Amino acid sequence: MSDIVLPGPFHSLQWMGSTDTLEDSDIVIVGLPYDGTCSYRPGSRFAPQAIREASYGLETYSPISKKDLENIRFYDGGDLSFPFGNRDETLAIIRKNAQAVVTAGKKWVGIGGEHLVTLPAVEAYLDKYPDLAILHFDAHGDLRDDYMGEKLSHATVIRRVADRVGPERLVQIGIRSGPQEEFDWMHQHRTLLEQIEQVPIGREKLKHHPVFLTIDLDVLDPSVLPGTGTPEPGGMQFTELMSWLMAFKGLNFVGADVIELAPDYDASGVSTAVATKVLREVLLLL
Amino acid sequence: MSDIVLPGPFHSLQWMGSTDTLEDSDIVIVGLPYDGTCSYRPGSRFAPQAIREASYGLETYSPISKKDLENIRFYDGGDLSFPFGNRDETLAIIRKNAQAVVTAGKKWVGIGGEHLVTLPAVEAYLDKYPDLAILHFDAHGDLRDDYMGEKLSHATVIRRVADRVGPERLVQIGIRSGPQEEFDWMHQHRTLLEQIEQVPIGREKLKHHPVFLTIDLDVLDPSVLPGTGTPEPGGMQFTELMSWLMAFKGLNFVGADVIELAPDYDASGVSTAVATKVLREVLLLL
Amino acid sequence: MSDIVLPGPFHSLQWMGSTDTLEDSDIVIVGLPYDGTCSYRPGSRFAPQAIREASYGLETYSPISKKDLENIRFYDGGDLSFPFGNRDETLAIIRKNAQAVVTAGKKWVGIGGEHLVTLPAVEAYLDKYPDLAILHFDAHGDLRDDYMGEKLSHATVIRRVADRVGPERLVQIGIRSGPQEEFDWMHQHRTLLEQIEQVPIGREKLKHHPVFLTIDLDVLDPSVLPGTGTPEPGGMQFTELMSWLMAFKGLNFVGADVIELAPDYDASGVSTAVATKVLREVLLLL
Amino acid sequence: MSDIVLPGPFHSLQWMGSTDTLEDSDIVIVGLPYDGTCSYRPGSRFAPQAIREASYGLETYSPISKKDLENIRFYDGGDLSFPFGNRDETLAIIRKNAQAVVTAGKKWVGIGGEHLVTLPAVEAYLDKYPDLAILHFDAHGDLRDDYMGEKLSHATVIRRVADRVGPERLVQIGIRSGPQEEFDWMHQHRTLLEQIEQVPIGREKLKHHPVFLTIDLDVLDPSVLPGTGTPEPGGMQFTELMSWLMAFKGLNFVGADVIELAPDYDASGVSTAVATKVLREVLLLL
Amino acid sequence: MSDIVLPGPFHSLQWMGSTDTLEDSDIVIVGLPYDGTCSYRPGSRFAPQAIREASYGLETYSPISKKDLENIRFYDGGDLSFPFGNRDETLAIIRKNAQAVVTAGKKWVGIGGEHLVTLPAVEAYLDKYPDLAILHFDAHGDLRDDYMGEKLSHATVIRRVADRVGPERLVQIGIRSGPQEEFDWMHQHRTLLEQIEQVPIGREKLKHHPVFLTIDLDVLDPSVLPGTGTPEPGGMQFTELMSWLMAFKGLNFVGADVIELAPDYDASGVSTAVATKVLREVLLLL
Amino acid sequence: MSDIVLPGPFHSLQWMGSTDTLEDSDIVIVGLPYDGTCSYRPGSRFAPQAIREASYGLETYSPISKKDLENIRFYDGGDLSFPFGNRDETLAIIRKNAQAVVTAGKKWVGIGGEHLVTLPAVEAYLDKYPDLAILHFDAHGDLRDDYMGEKLSHATVIRRVADRVGPERLVQIGIRSGPQEEFDWMHQHRTLLEQIEQVPIGREKLKHHPVFLTIDLDVLDPSVLPGTGTPEPGGMQFTELMSWLMAFKGLNFVGADVIELAPDYDASGVSTAVATKVLREVLLLL
């Protein structure tokens, strides 16, 4: 496992309850502080550290899933270090680390950063699991083919993912903003679940595949999570997101990420508290 | 149309997608940065400019009404300039501009500012449409006969409007705060709709009239829109407001305003994003 | 009544509508600006003063309960003064004042401060009403037996209360975070009401007892009240809390407190507006 | 003294150390929460209350002037109540109160509010002291003859004062922003002192007159006092302002005001702490 | 001049007093909202728009240089639009625009954005003025040869500039933070002026060259300008910076930029007011 | 050294450049997140963590002292964990840890927290160095004999220290606020240096003693460091504090602390940046 280049505990506060070493873990948390293609409000680079701090105010027991984090073996590998301004090198660093984690038989849990960080993780998984499927929570489809001339952007990332896994293995929930073409695309490919009653459709699509779960936190209503780059009114309450997640329990989740918290836009700290609790439930779901 | 004294594009950022000239528009957006009778927390004067900036982060397509702003011809005429401290002159300036817009056969969409800016616009419309009716969303009735001795105030504005159009042509939604007399008045005149099931009652009242739509954004719950002068707990979610608006589709809306955003009270920017999206839906409704 | 040591009007702004003297009141509001055992984010010490200021922006009439504060005789006794760093002396000061108020036949309404301030008030009531029961709204059970080695803490306060009144006279609502043992304890003692349909169970338990109502404001969702020490996603909307309170109308409420507002964590002022309205409803309920 | 209509202690927190009644005082502090002609950033209406609260964190002893507030008899009369939106009535209310204070042989200390509140106080003083002189600290000359067509504005107030007392009885310090005409006017009338070495020139002008001291807090550098409506880089440090004030000790000060704090623009609370300390020194100087 | 691709007035608020067209101007202001290589706190992308808004609160007359902006013919060309995440394309866009401005015989005044935006402007000038010299105000030398492996970064930009113009044509002022090698480099090449008495040394170096002036606003003390990416305690007061600028009056300034304001880190708005006044003085100096 | 109970790197982010183990260090940094006796604005408990984060944005080289942190062997032992609400137990925990550090022949550098944390550290030193002297920077004398009846408080801590070391071994700098008795005490015992020219007096007092340096950051002007519990206008600029510290170079400093940063009161992050740089200079001075 010598390829893993995670910075480790000496350079970063660790999520409360992290195992002491990577070796004795089943899940590896990795901070991905990149927000370089963000066109509107940057700041998701500060999310991993903010979430770690908030983890010390979180109960390990979840009355939602009735499980306890203390029974999960996860290791917090710290934040990856990126050359700011160089997108392609940044993506290569993420991919290399994700490959090392996947190869070691552990589950990757990325903390974004912006949504583009999902792409190299998915690519790393596809090497091992060519039939990987995607469960995607978001306010935005992120389905543009290019954005301001760029193929690799937070606004194109799920389109790039769909290029690789195929739309038939993509399930999308919560999308409520975008150009008409994106809604047409989702309609054509039937990727979007609009109500929780449609969960069985989604489970059917995902049940025979290893599943990567990617949660863009702006799927929540901005009243619940104001601290994000592109707040979109009209989203889910926290308990609704929990209901959706619980409804997918039992799938073969092999990895996940939680992205687009921008903690500095919410001075009350509530957005970070929400993100931390979402991450706890993701860890318990895996 | 030489009477129109709008400042125009050189002195103000324009709402994204504004037509180049007033002439080639059907709707005219006008910023009304006045908060001079505000007794509690001023700052709605900053709303028009904040909304224009946020408009550049907004998708033009609405999955709510399934329409696109690109198909609407509207012109952003900039902010009117007021002599601070002189309420009566301010109202006269608004009225003069609204008259010019109405006379030119275009629809006025005011961005407040405080609620008093609605009065001169309504007066301008009454010159042309003596049978004008009002659809009013608000947390407060604004039905006091006077406020601290003043007849013209944000707290009396709808009473002044009712003096002119008559309570039978006034429909109110969302009112949840005020002295007992205001609730008695609304009860007596049956102006208040309390549940969305009562929409048919409202449509019946409005359907044979040209309708002016006035939305005080504090009709939304303060969790959704904290940036307002007088936050009143217990209001609508964003999706509820959208449902109400969609339920009135098809009426003969001749003008509108969206008022009482005070952007500086919400550092997260979410309130402004909400207001901008409400305004998009208002433009699409007209 | 010479034992009452309230600071009185000259050292503190008074809640709008306070009677001029303590003597001509039925209810006594007392500010309890103590947050000394808070382990996470202090600042509830600033709540009483913030609420008083916000009271001047509040309507006295409540369309929720259809009553008016002007018909209630309450006296705002100002903030008690505490020796910071000395928890035990602080609790003694509160108990002494609460005893004086209870002895005088008036109702105590404490404004926290942290939740530990409830304990000395309950102790004062138990002297007069040995069969006192407790109605407790909170996100947290506060049922730890000790916290970081301390028996007296915001995290143990309801356990200490239960030691005194017995779990059979405790009704808890809204609890959604804590270690598994606390949930086991609530389950074992059947103290927790999980849905509003269970109100009759709670009324049955409380109806033959004098009841002390304690509302930890974090029972509300952090989107509604971000300004609190330990925000817990997944809580009540404002209107839900109102429905719960209205459902308990008619019980023999002898005292109350409203605690854990930390106003500085919510720069928008909305949290304080919410707390002030909750307090108005509590006064009207008593 | 029955004409004095100050609201008194029951409606307002009082500055720490206020005498119990107006009668046993030599100085009367009055809050003037008016910012209605403010053209840029309102919010000075919140200053009087913020300063009162901060007064409880202030030492009464001043090592600057080596005096103690405990030896000064001042009464805090609370905030005057104004009809928002009606500038002329507001000025009339201030003038009436100032006349009552001056007639009673007491010294008026106004807490603004915007600078226009100085005008009615000066007018009230001129009735009793026709030879009144003015000592004016400010970043702006406030010498426009009209502002957006208005004769009475925060930007014209000192010109209106000069109309009444004559430029030869006006001493200005700290002015560093304005149109060229204002600098020409100050040069022509020699009202401006540019360096502390010129204090003797100012004392010579003022020494045979009763003096009204008006301090616009934006005379301080915005790093010292960011919380003000129109921050002007390049101003005084706090200790420089103290040196200027100490240099004028011994003049016959008959009244004063301290204006243009806008506390909400400085979340750190430092601006309010600065204003409160300036006010302490003003009280000790009188 | 058809190569100029500035967005123009319809897509952006213009700096107060901009000429109507580019043709009738001598100076062209261009917003450069790029902060992509920022390794610490992003947000300088918001500076150009914030400065334009603040320009409407600025007096056109400067008592510092005793000149008036009304006598300067400048055109605000709006913000350039960049493909976020693609640094090299961003630099190419800036260079192309700067070349068009320089070729047209006008002076370029860039508003950053981060310091890297200076490099393409300098390159554009070198085409026309091969003997260009640089006057550089900054807290940091920005003299690293590479930063996290990248040759093009906010931390290497002046080294890249020095590569092109040579250290003998570089004058640096205010540098107070960096690795020892940067201080050694400045010492070896005598680029740093440490006290204002050394201005003659700087003038001697610059007087026979066209000069590009680049001001990183963090040269100011963070108390004066907290809103910047990398605040460095121990910097200049505002009046000190003005003294330095005035001391270089009369040089042949052919272009300039003012960079690294990050307005959102200073909610008081003071940092933006400072930056706007610095820019006014730069315009008057040119 | 088995008595040292520092939490170590796994539970806390470490200051940039910390040695890997305590054993290979000469200096030990310890976070002391206690603010329990704070009577005004709490929040210094958040300082140690904020400073550690900011340390990653700090250059290790100091152009002020011309030294580099990389040549200093220091270990960051993390934050001590305290039982909130229990002051005496908190002080005992600090004392025990400080004794272990001192006994091991290492230098203690505390990061407050409030000023009371200095007392147990000084007591620990006195066991080993009975002739310890104190160099004290502060806006406040902290010389009250008791505060609200309490002997142990942030407002009495230096008096308690003076009780133990004697006023003749105490040197105080920057004191500018307090009751007259404190100024009388300082005058009587000649503890206060008022100008930098008096440094030789201070050096004379300290030169034959081991010296503990305690810096209350509110010695700086609130414009430089707004993020503190009790801001006192009229303090030092950053460069002045540096000059004072450099003037004491060469004394036998055996320990130090830097206290009273309250980072949340300064959203710009500048206060934390200032505190971090002060701490760097303290480490280099030791």
Task: With beta carbons less than 8 A apart as the criterion, state whether F142 and F154 touch.
Answer: yes
pLDDT of residue F9: 43
pLDDT band at F6 (very low <50, low <70, confident <90, very high): low
Nearest C-alpha neighbor of C76 from the set C50, C104, C111: C111
Regions of chain B where pLDDT drops below 70: 1-12
On chain B, the residues whose CB falls within 8 A of the CB of D230 are none
Burial E2-34 (b: 16+ CB within 10 A, else e): eebebebbebbbbbbbbbeebeebebbbbbbbb
CA–CA separation, E228 vs A215, rounded Å? 32
Beta bridge partners of C111: C31, C258
pLDDT digits (tens, 9 = 90+) for A2-12: 345 555 444 56
Provide the percentage of residues in chain A whose pLDDT is more than 90: 84
Helical residues (DSSP H) of chain B, grouped into ranges: 47-55, 87-103, 118-128, 157-165, 180-189, 199-206, 238-247, 270-285
Residue of chain C minimizing CA distance to B233: C274
The string of DSSP codes covering C104-137 is: TT-EEEEEESSGGGHHHHHHHHHHH-TT-EEEEE
Query: Where are the strands (E) in C7-87, listed by range?
Result: 27-32, 61-62, 67-68, 74-79
Q: Which two tokens stand for residue F127?
A: 């066991």
Instruction: Report yes or no: D147 at the F interface, CB cutoff 8 Å.
Output: no
**Cβ contact, residue pair A49, F53, below 8 Å:** yes
Q: Which amino acid is it at C66?
A: K
Nearest C-alpha neighbor of C215 from the set C241, C187, C251: C241
pLDDT of residue E20: 82
Lowest mean pLDDT among A143-147, A230-234, D42-46, F148-152: F148-152
ipTM of the complex: 0.93
On chain F, the residues whose CB falls within 8 A of the CB of C35 are 42
Q: What is the DSSP letter of B74?
A: E
Which candidate in D154, D181, D186, D223 is best for mutational testing of the E interface (most E CBs within 10 A)? D223
pLDDT digits (tens, 9 = 90+) for C50-68: 999 999 889 999 999 999 9
Could you give the angle at which helices F238-247 and F199-206 cross, rounded to 10 degrees?
A: 50
* Model confidence at E220: pLDDT above 90: yes
Instruction: Report yes or no: C92 at the F interface, CB cutoff 8 Å.
Output: no
pLDDT digits (tens, 9 = 90+) for F41-70: 899 999 999 999 999 889 999 999 999 999
Phi, psi (degrees; rounded to nearest 5) at B109: -125, 100
Which residue in the set B239, B242, B268 is minimally distant from A226, CB to CB? Answer: B268
Which residue in the set B40, B183, B234 is minimally distant from C57, CB to CB? Answer: B40
If residue E128 lies in a helix (H) or strand (E), which one and from where to where? helix E118-128
Stronger pLDDT, A243 or E3, i.e. the higher one: A243
Pairing between β-strand B170-173 and β-strand B133-137 as defined by DSSP bridges: parallel
**Cβ contact, residue pair A149, E83, below 8 Å:** yes
**Averaged pLDDT for residues E260-265:** 96
- Chain centre distance of CA D213: 7
Task: With beta carbons less than 8 A apart as the criterion, state whether B122 and B165 touch.
Answer: yes
pLDDT of residue C5: 53
Instruction: Report yes or no: C14 at the D interface, CB cutoff 8 Å.
Output: yes
Beta bridge partners of C253: C211
pLDDT digits (tens, 9 = 90+) for A103-159: 999 999 999 999 999 999 999 999 999 999 999 999 999 999 998 888 999 999 999
Instruction: Report yes or no: C267 at the D interface, CB cutoff 8 Å.
Output: yes
Q: Which two tokens stand for residue E203?
A: 């003038």
pLDDT digits (tens, 9 = 90+) for E146-198: 988 889 999 999 999 999 999 999 999 999 999 999 999 999 999 999 999 99
Which candidate in F45, F86, F88 is best for mutational testing of the C interface (most C CBs within 10 A)? F86
Helix-strand-coil percent breakdown of chain F, rounded to 5? Answer: 40, 20, 40
**What's the angle, vertex CA B193, arms to CA B187 and CA B196, rounded to 5?**
155
Which residue in the set C39, C43, C85 is minimally distant from F87, CB to CB? Answer: C85
* Model confidence at C2: pLDDT above 60: no
**Averaged pLDDT for residues F204-223:** 98
pLDDT band at E6 (very low <50, low <70, confident <90, very high): low
CATH topology of domain D22-285: Arginase; Chain A (3.40.800)
Task: With beta carbons less than 8 A apart as the criterion, state whether E138 and E220 touch.
Answer: no
pLDDT digits (tens, 9 = 90+) for A181-198: 999 999 999 999 999 999
Q: Model-level pTM?
A: 0.94
Residues whose CB is less than 8 angstroms from the CB of residue A151 and which lie 6 or more positions away in sequence, other chains included: A145, A160
CA–CA separation, B144 vs B165, rounded Å? 16
Instruction: Report yes or no: B49 at the E interface, CB cutoff 8 Å.
Output: yes
**Cβ contact, residue pair D234, E64, below 8 Å:** yes
pLDDT digits (tens, 9 = 90+) for A24-51: 899 999 999 999 988 888 999 999 999 9
Instruction: Report yes or no: F16 at the E interface, CB cutoff 8 Å.
Output: no
**Cβ contact, residue pair E221, D222, below 8 Å:** no
What is the least distance, in Å, from the CA of A177 to any CA of chain E? 20
Q: Which two tokens stand for residue F216?
A: 């209350």
On chain E, the residues whose CB falls within 8 A of the CB of B14 are 10-11
Instruction: Report yes or no: B16 at the A interface, CB cutoff 8 Å.
Output: no
Nearest C-alpha neighbor of D91 from the set D56, D122, D55, D60: D122
Nearest C-alpha neighbor of D252 from the set D214, D209, D205: D209
Residues whose CB is less than 8 angstroms from the CB of residue C268 and which lie 6 or more positions away in sequence, other chains included: B222, B226, B227, B231, B265, B266, B267
Helical residues (DSSP H) of chain D, grouped into ranges: 47-55, 87-103, 118-128, 157-165, 180-189, 199-206, 238-247, 270-285
Q: Which chains touch B (3 or more CB pairs under 8 A)?
A: A, C, D, E
C2 burial type by CB count under 10 A (0-12 exposed, 13-18 middle, 19+ buried): exposed
Task: With beta carbons less than 8 A apart as the criterion, state whether E132 and E124 touch.
Answer: no
**Cβ contact, residue pair E84, A152, below 8 Å:** no
Q: What is the DSSP letter of E86?
A: B
On chain C, the residues whose CB falls within 8 A of the CB of D14 are 10-11
Instruction: Report yes or no: A224 at the C interface, CB cutoff 8 Å.
Output: yes
The string of DSSP codes covering F28-39 is: EEEEE---TT-S
What is the least distance, in Å, from the CA of E223 to any CA of chain D? 5
* Model confidence at A99: pLDDT above 70: yes
Which residue in the set E39, E42, E82 is minimally distant from A42, CB to CB? Answer: E42
**Averaged pLDDT for residues C23-31:** 93
What is the least distance, in Å, from the CA of B223 to any CA of chain A? 5
**Cβ contact, residue pair B9, E10, below 8 Å:** yes
